Amino acid sequence: DNLYSQILKAKTNDKKLLAILLDPDKIVWENLGDLISKINQSPATHIFIGGSHVKTNILDELIIKIKQDCDLPIVLFPGNPSQISDKADAILFLSLISGRNPDYLIEHQVKAVPILKQTQLEIISTGYILIESGNETAVASVSKTKPLDRNNLDLVLATAQAGEMLGNKLIYLEAGSGAKQAVPLEIIELVSQNIEIPLLVGGGIVDLQGIQNAYQAGADLVVIGTAFEKDLNFFNNRH
Ligand code: 1GP
């Protein structure tokens, strides 16, 4: 089974998925062993790797090290085409469909093709939708796009449905890493009820209750970055 069919299967069985997002720029290499053991003890089902600013060429090394001690699938979540490593299992092939910057709609994707063709990565096309979060997040500033108004439910839904109609295999509702406000539950509810493909939700979720709320609203997979990065015991805590 490839990763995408596993995600579909989980959705069918109502098994919720959890990804821990690691930003290679923020890895403290001395603590990597501890980080990996904490991931192994956590309920995570996937590791996502990526970030808006990653420039360093440490992806391969990082993934090799993680794979030595951890069996979770590793999915690239790239900010740009330089963030590709054939050591990972899959890549979210993102198109930033909430924005109107052609670079993030198609240009980076075209540039990535010759690199991707050299790899065995499973490619999972993902409609990536940035939702206004109360602060300017890195993904908004780096992509130079305006997030969707969190109160404009019609526009958010039509954007997600356009993403599905275009053939994307996943929709990702993103508030942005370190978002002040996570994606509103009513948006998660509305979108999940009106698309067939799996729904990913992330950005600004800071406690376990926030994860449960997103699941209950209809998220199939929740992404946690900052909260775990700040506190490796995040998943052991009682919030
Ligand atoms: C960012 O959705 C992810 O792309 C995770 O965000 O760092 O706020 O958890 P956080």
Known binder of ligand: residue 218? no
Q: What are the extents of the domains in the chain?
A: 3-230
Query: Tell me, what's the pLDDT at 237?
Result: 76
pLDDT-derived band at 54, boundaries 50, 70, 90: confident
Q: Atom of ligand 1 at shortest distance to CA of 139? A: 4
Instruction: Give distance in angstroms: CA of 72 to centre of ligand 1.
Output: 19
Question: What is the rounded average pLDDT of the residues 44-52?
Answer: 93
Query: Tell me, what's the pLDDT at 25?
Result: 87
Q: 225: which residues sit within 8 A by CB, 6+ positions away?
A: 20, 21, 22, 23, 177, 178, 202
Instruction: Give distance in angstroms: CA of 114 to centre of ligand 1.
Output: 28
Question: What is the rounded average pLDDT of the residues 61-65?
Answer: 95
Token look-up 């980076």 returns: 108
**DSSP letters for 10-74:** HHHTT--EEEEEE-GGG--GGGHHHHHHHHHHS---EEEE--SS--SS-HHHHHHHHHHH--S-E
Asked if residue 22 has pLDDT above 70, the reply is: yes
Q: Which of 226, 219, 230, 164 is nearest to 196 (CA)?
A: 164
- pLDDT, tens digit, 9 for 90 and up, residues 199-212: 999 999 999 999 99
Q: Are residues 20 and 44 in contact, defined by beta-carbon separation less than 8 angstroms?
A: yes
Known binder of ligand: residue 104? no
pLDDT over 70 for what percent of the chain? 98
The rounded distance, in Å, linking the Cα atoms of 35 and 22 is: 10
Asked if residue 5 has pLDDT above 90, the reply is: yes
Known binder of ligand: residue 173? yes
Token look-up 């956590």 returns: 42
Asked if residue 239 has pLDDT above 80, the reply is: no
SS3 call for 108:
helix
- pLDDT, tens digit, 9 for 90 and up, residues 65-108: 999 999 999 999 998 878 899 999 999 999 999 999 999 999 99
Q: Atom of ligand 1 at shortest distance to CA of 174? A: 2
The rounded distance, in Å, linking the Cα atoms of 188 and 173 is: 8
| Averaged confidence pLDDT in the chain | 95
Does the ipTM exceed 0.90?
Answer: yes
Residue 223 CA, chain-centre distance (Å), reads 6
Element (H, E) at 125: strand 122-130
Return the DSSP state at 105.
I
Query: Tell me, what's the pLDDT at 53?
Result: 78
Instruction: Give distance in angstroms: CA of 173 to centre of ligand 1.
Output: 11
Query: Tell me, what's the pLDDT at 94?
Result: 97
Query: Tell me, what's the pLDDT at 55?
Result: 66
Q: Which of 33, 51, 37, 44 is nearest to 73 (CA)?
A: 44
CATH superfamily membership of 3-230: FMN-linked oxidoreductases (3.20.20.390)
Instruction: Give distance in angstroms: CA of 164 to centre of ligand 1.
Output: 22
- pLDDT, tens digit, 9 for 90 and up, residues 111-155: 999 999 999 999 999 999 999 999 999 999 999 999 999 999 999
Known binder of ligand: residue 34? no
**Residue located nearest, by CA, to atom 9 of ligand 1:** 225
Q: Which of 194, 136, 135, 118 is nearest to 160 (CA)?
A: 194
